[in-house]
Amino acid sequence: MNAKNTSAALIEDFDPDEIPPLTDEFFANAVHRVNFKPIGKKLKINLTLDPDVVAWYKLRAGGRGYQTLMNAALRENMREHELVETLRQVIREEMHPAS
For the segment 26-71, what is each residue's pLDDT rounded down to a tens digit? Answer: 888 877 777 777 777 788 899 999 999 999 999 999 978 999 999 9
Q: Which domain holds residue 76?
A: 3-95
pTM > 0.85: yes or no: no
Q: What is the dihedral of CA 91, 97, 98, 99, to 10 degrees?
A: -160
pLDDT of residue 52: 97
Give pLDDT tens digits for 77-96.
Answer: 999 988 888 888 888 888 87
pLDDT of residue 46: 92
pLDDT at site 99: 58
DSSP states along the chain: --HHHHHHHHHHH--GGGSPP--HHHHHT---EETTEE-PPPPP------HHHHHHHHHHHTSSSHHHHHHHHHHHHHHHHHHHHHHHHHHHHHHS---
What's the number of domains the chain is made of?
Answer: 1
Q: What is the pLDDT of residue 71?
A: 92
In this prediction, residue 95 carries a pLDDT of 85
Residue-level pLDDT at 8: 67
Whether the CB-CB separation of 28 and 34 falls below 8 Å is answered with no
